[in-house]
Structure 1
Amino acid sequence: MIAQSSKGIAVVTGASTGIGAVYADRVAKRGYDLILVARNEDRLRRLADQLANETGRTVEPFKADLGRKDDLARLETRLGDDAGIAMLVNNAGIGSVASIQQADVDEMETMIALNITALTRLTYAVAPAFVARGAGTIINISSVVGIAVEALNGVYSASKSYVLSFGHSLQKDLADKGVRIQTVLPGATATEFWDVAGYAAQKTSPATMSAADLVDAALAGLDLGELVTIPGLQDGEDWTRWEEGRRVLGPKFNHAKPSPRYQLEAASAT
């Protein structure tokens, strides 16, 4: 197969299966060469070979456990050294459905390292080159539980709230530099996430979206210029109103005195 000229290199983390594997397929078909990152080397190489054969793109498998500092550092160096990187899809992550009474705190720390620290450091690794060129795309995979925080494990929800907040900040800092930032909030999606999280039955629920539909909708949202894409939200105006309300609330925090509802003046007078 003779491939069209490359649009640059897209880096996809958590790429060996599920949402990441679909992203790899779709961005390759959009004309990007690939660096695919995952822990499972066998799956990773099979997918790399398949996509290279099907699309004619150059596909580099990069075995790494991004929860490990040494593996993460290797990938940061790889990304920082390559001027051809044009897109980063921060998809790698793990989840849990366990409550604070059931979950192991060391496992929660591992989740934070992958869902927050790795995503942040990889974003920092590519951003300087994107800003210097005035072009580049960063797609960060959050979750609807970043808003509906009571739905699953609290640390998982909080980690996805971080991704959403981080995306807002990146949009503020980088939008006028030519760098596109999109935050994607999947709902329940039929992937191995649920096996790892301990609730495999969710994969077959009527409310669970396929990974293909999720990624196709997310990329359509990117094409539309959406800063935040929530594929399962049927009325986009619901998000617009929610976000407008959040931004209206912000300036109302700036007061040097506590609210009268706390009745501090009355208490001090007695």
Structure 2
Amino acid sequence: MTTQNKSAVVTGASAGLGAAYAQRLADRGYDLILVARNTARLEALASDLRSRTDRTVDVVTADLTDASQIAVVEERLRTDASIEVLVNNAGGSLFAPVAASDAAISEALINLNVTSLTRLTTAVLPGLIARGRGTVVNVSSALALNILPVSAVYSGTKSYVLTFTQALQQELAESPVTVQAVLPGAVRTEFWDGSGLDLAALPDEWIMSADDAVDAALAGLDAGEPVTIPSLPEIGDWESFEKARQALVPNLSQRTPAARYRG
């Protein structure tokens, strides 16, 4: 995945995984369009990348929980023919029982993790397909699979990202456009601030650095993995999980109820 005079869009680019993606993609020769809420951090990252790599770096300040601000990014994705990569990294977290949660906070999380990702992907795909090349990376989470009592909303949003990506992979099976889902576990970033879960409460051996997580994700992309789980030692475990799911498919919709439900 190397190119010249082509652009990569990274959302949630001001820190953590997004900043690491920006750095790695610049090193691979991409010009960058960085999207996040914090203009000062975006500008600082952009300045560093310009001086270190001599790449063109544009900054787009946008709150992706807000429909009008999502629309600004959508317009860039639809109209900028240089765009070859979209990394949907922007996301938030919430760890609390549903009964103890604020519905408005949950709604904002869904808007960020699900709605904005869906809209931005929908905006960029027609151009990528028409140009005959491109990559979409959707950052999900290991908590799409490891569902916890306090992660109902968060795990729900990240499960959506995974299944949305898997459906796109089927849609684009005959296309040169690649779509990857990345399921990182705990990563040492600001993601945890205000999440309701203290990163310090987790064993250190569970926590990966952002640089290592992104390097693993890009290695998985280069290897053609449709789903990359940076911590998973054996990819065969994921493949077995998927085979078990596929084994259910022929019996998920039948004319009659299963025998155990019939008197």
CA distance in 2: counterparts of 1:99 and 1:43, whole angstroms: 32
Matched letter for residue 213 of structure 2: L
Report the counterpart of residue 17 of structure 1 in structure 2: 15
Regions of 4+ moved over 6 Å: none
Q: How does 1:1-270 map to 2 (within 5 A)?
A: 6-150=4-148, 152-200=150-198, 201-202=200-201, 205-263=204-262, 266=263
Kept in 1, the 8 Å contact 2:98–2:150? The answer is no
Kept in 2, the 8 Å contact 1:97–1:152? The answer is yes
CA distance in 2: counterparts of 1:27 and 1:68, whole angstroms: 27
Kept in 2, the 8 Å contact 1:194–1:202? The answer is no
CA distance in 2: counterparts of 1:110 and 1:180, whole angstroms: 29
CA distance in 1: counterparts of 2:166 and 2:3, whole angstroms: 33
Matched letter for residue 79 of structure 1: L
Higher-Rg member (1/2): 1
Shift, 1:101, TM fit: 2.3
Partner SS, residue 138 of structure 2: strand
CA displacement 1:235-269 (0-9 Å, x = unmatched): 11110100111112111113100011012xx3xxx
| Cα distance change, pair 111–256 in 1 and its aligned pair in 2 (3 A) | same
CA distance in 2: counterparts of 1:257 and 1:169, whole angstroms: 27
CA distance in 2: counterparts of 1:214 and 1:151, whole angstroms: 25
Shift, 1:134, TM fit: 1.5
Kept in 2, the 8 Å contact 1:194–1:203? The answer is no
Shift, 1:135, TM fit: 0.8
Shift, 1:67, TM fit: 0.5
Shift, 1:234, TM fit: 1.2
Shift, 1:202, TM fit: 4.8
| Cα distance change, pair 7–182 in 1 and its aligned pair in 2 (3 A) | farther
CA distance in 1: counterparts of 2:237 and 2:260, whole angstroms: 31
CA displacement 1:14-35 (0-9 Å, x = unmatched): 0000000000000110010000
CA displacement 1:86-107 (0-9 Å, x = unmatched): 0000000000111112211110
Matched letter for residue 20 of structure 1: G
CA distance in 1: counterparts of 2:88 and 2:3, whole angstroms: 24
Which sits farther off after the overlay, 200-209 or 101-110?
200-209
CA distance in 2: counterparts of 1:36 and 1:222, whole angstroms: 20
CA distance in 2: counterparts of 1:82 and 1:202, whole angstroms: 44
**TM score, norm. by length of structure 2:** 0.96
CA distance in 2: counterparts of 1:246 and 1:155, whole angstroms: 22
CA distance in 2: counterparts of 1:53 and 1:202, whole angstroms: 38
**TM score, norm. by length of structure 1:** 0.93
Partner SS, residue 65 of structure 1: coil
| Cα distance change, pair 45–122 in 1 and its aligned pair in 2 (3 A) | same
Partner SS, residue 164 of structure 1: helix
Matched letter for residue 81 of structure 1: T
How large is the Cα RMSD of the aligned pairs? Answer: 1.4
Matched letter for residue 215 of structure 2: D
Kept in 1, the 8 Å contact 2:8–2:33? The answer is yes
Shift, 1:204, TM fit: 7.1
